[in-house]
A and B are shown apart, each in its own frame.
Chain A
Amino acid sequence: DTEVTQTPKHLVMGMTNKKSLKCEQHMGHRAMYWYKQKAKKPPELMFVYSYEKLSINESVPSRFSPECPNSSLLNLHLHALQPEDSALYLCATTWAGSTDTQYFGPGTRLTVL
């Protein structure tokens, strides 16, 4: 099973709202990632969790707050977002090695009004 699931599929929120994105995998992978993808652009790395600890933060604004409650779950908490944060948010997972394939979820399409 190489499935990574993400919920919700679509999310519309106002700039004062607080919402969360969820990513789940049951492949036993120990590294999990959040990416942001704007239209017609490649995915941009935001955060990396390795063995449930944050290992990389690509200078992401604090209005994005990641959380890894356990090895199967990855959350992205959103607060006070801006319209320019509207994008497709992708979760990916891998075994944990530096040369392991990353498997992506379907993404959450976020619109900030």
Chain B
Amino acid sequence: GESVGLHLPTLSVQEGDNSIINCAYSNSASDYFIWYKQESGKGPQFIIDIRSNMDKRQGQRVTVLLNKTVKHLSLQIAATQPGDSAVYFCAENAGGTASKLTFGTGTRLQVTL
């Protein structure tokens, strides 16, 4: 079936360094992608999104890159801070009448001092 997956389950990064979290997706019909951050005991928090007609989108300290040729999505966090420690999920939406998201397996980002 269709799936969204991540290459690394845990990523350890030193404070101040840049982080890159990767995600592979397999549904070529997906046209909308979202990155969520989930801290322990909380609900997923929207970080940034990108539509399939774009290949890059920037936010505050975060950038999402979309490579439709290889069905790859990445989240880059600049100058990683301790508050960035969380689990990050990518999610894809293949369209339809309701916004049905398929989530990736998640990557835990650990920021070391």
- What secondary structure prevails in chain B residues at the interface with A? loop
From known contacts A90-B44, A104-B43, A104-B45, infer whether A98 and B99 are also in contact, taking CB-CB under 8 Å: yes
Stretch binding the partner chain, chosen from B14-22, B65-73, B75-83, B103-111: B103-111
Interface membership of B42, Cβ < 8 A: yes
Number of A-B contacts (CB under 8 A): 65
Q: Is B95 touching A99 in the complex (CB atoms < 8 A)? A: yes
Residue of A nearest to B6 (CB): A42
Q: Give chain A residues whose Cβ lies under 8 Å from the Cβ of B56.
A: none
Is the beta-carbon distance between B46 and A103 smaller than 8 angstroms? yes
Contact of B101 among A50, A96, A102 (CB under 8 A): A102
- A64 CB → nearest B CB, Å: 18
* Best-surrounded residue of A31, A50, A101, A106 (most CB of chain B within 10 A): A101
The number of chain A residues with a CB under 8 A from chain B is 27
Chain A residues within 8 Å of B31, by CB: 99
Question: Does B1 touch A at the CB level, under 8 Å?
Answer: no
On whether the beta carbons of A101 and B34 are closer than 8 Å, the reply is: yes
A40 to B103, CA, bound (A): 13
Q: Most chain-B CB neighbours within 10 Å: which of A6, A42, A101, A109? A: A42
Q: Are A105 and B43 in contact (CB under 8 A)?
A: yes
Among A4, A41, A56, the residue within 8 A (CB) of B100 is: A56
Binding site for A on B (CB under 8 A): 31-32, 34, 36, 41-46, 49, 51, 89, 93, 95-101, 103-106
15 pairs, CB–CB < 8 Å, chain A vs chain B: A31-B98, A42-B89, A42-B104, A42-B105, A45-B101, A48-B100, A50-B97, A90-B44, A96-B99, A99-B51, A102-B34, A102-B46, A103-B46, A104-B46, A106-B43
- Interface set of A (CB-CB < 8 Å, partner B): 4, 6, 31, 40-43, 45, 48, 50, 55-56, 90, 94, 96-107, 109
